[in-house]
Amino acid sequence: MANTQREIQELLADYAGALRDGCLPTFLKSLTREEARRISESPDFWEATEVVRLMNSAGFGDNVVTPDVGLFISRVDAAIASRSKQAKASTREHSRSQVNSQ
Amino acid sequence: MDKALRNALRELTSSDAESRRRAMEPFVRSTFGIFIRHLHRYLGNEVECEDVLEDVYADIWENPDHLRAIDSEAQLLRTVYLYYMRKRLREVYRRMNRSSYLSANDMQNLIAPELGLCDLISQTELKQILHRLLGKLKARERKAMELWMAGMSNRAIANQLETTVGAVKMLEFRTVLKLRRMLKEYCEED
């Protein structure tokens, strides 16, 4: 992505490549002010990104499914437990402050 | 909709937080594949997809109100995307606003856009449609798209097609726009 004055077709190719390779932040950081303006003003670019996303999903979406959903479930459960604890702590804090104010 | 998913959804929308927590396991088992493939469309990175999805499920546990009266998988995916995923997707790249020249609106449209063409169709159907549409392209256009979808770089595609990288990028751009017109016609016919 060394070219700093990329045409819209080059920007789309780089966006598609970044999406495919999982490095969107690198693409976003690489944009110059002029390229960002070019993207903003190009309806073709926005229409093309829709198809690129679908192609990315059809081509590589299956690779993303982790073989161990059980491990992921335990991550979700831990996140829920943490939020539950936070909610209880804030309720206790709230009722304590109410008692103090009385 | 799958019976296990229907039951999990019923439990998930209960007012008791513990019941909702118990229902989360069958819900995640039934929906993980669908949700993570959908997220992958926008992020393209498995680690980020899992991180976002973890927050999405916790958000659903915390506030499942939007999931009442869901009748189909497509409706479920639409609801989860609009009410839970988009918010989290925006957060992923919010920090990027500081170092990118894209406006906040463009950034949002790139990372967490409105649902577009064929966005809610299943992975299997999407593959079938794309396969059919690729068959309608000219041989050179189809080859460029197939090589891209096989994971080849533009330089490698240019070598295969015996042309320049610039010409490949232009060919891909035109072909993608052509595919979009065909997809639009397909969705309107449907």
**pLDDT at B142 (0 to 100):** 95
Per-residue tokens: B183: 């997809």
CATH topology of domain B123-189: Arc Repressor Mutant, subunit A (1.10.10)
Partner residue facing A53 (CB), from B41, B48, B53: B41
Distance from the Cα of residue A85 to its chain's centroid: 27
- With CA atoms as reference, report the closest residue to B169 among B157, B183, B182, B152: B157
Interface contacts (A, B; CB < 8 Å): 185
Tens digits of residue pLDDT in B83-114: 999 999 888 877 666 677 888 888 888 888 88
- If pLDDT is split at 50, 70 and 90, which confidence band does B116 have? confident
The residue extents of the domains of chain A are 1-65, 66-102
The mean per-residue pLDDT over the stretch A71-96 comes to 84
Contact B53, B36 (CB under 8 A): yes
CB contact under 8 A, A48 and B176: yes
**pLDDT at B182 (0 to 100):** 92
CB contact B62 to A (< 8 Å): yes
* Pairwise CA distance, residues B127 & A54, whole Å: 9
Tens digits of residue pLDDT in A25-65: 889 889 999 999 999 999 999 999 999 998 888 877 777 66
Average pLDDT, chain A: 85
Per-residue tokens: B158: 């240019």
Sign (positive/negative) of CA torsion B123, B124, B129, B132? positive
CB contact under 8 A, A12 and B170: no
SS3 content of chain B, % helix, strand, coil (to 5): 80, 0, 20
A1 pLDDT more than 60: no
B126 pLDDT more than 80: yes
CB contact under 8 A, B43 and A22: yes
**pLDDT at B14 (0 to 100):** 85
Tens digits of residue pLDDT in B9-58: 988 888 888 889 999 999 999 999 889 988 888 888 888 899 999 999 99
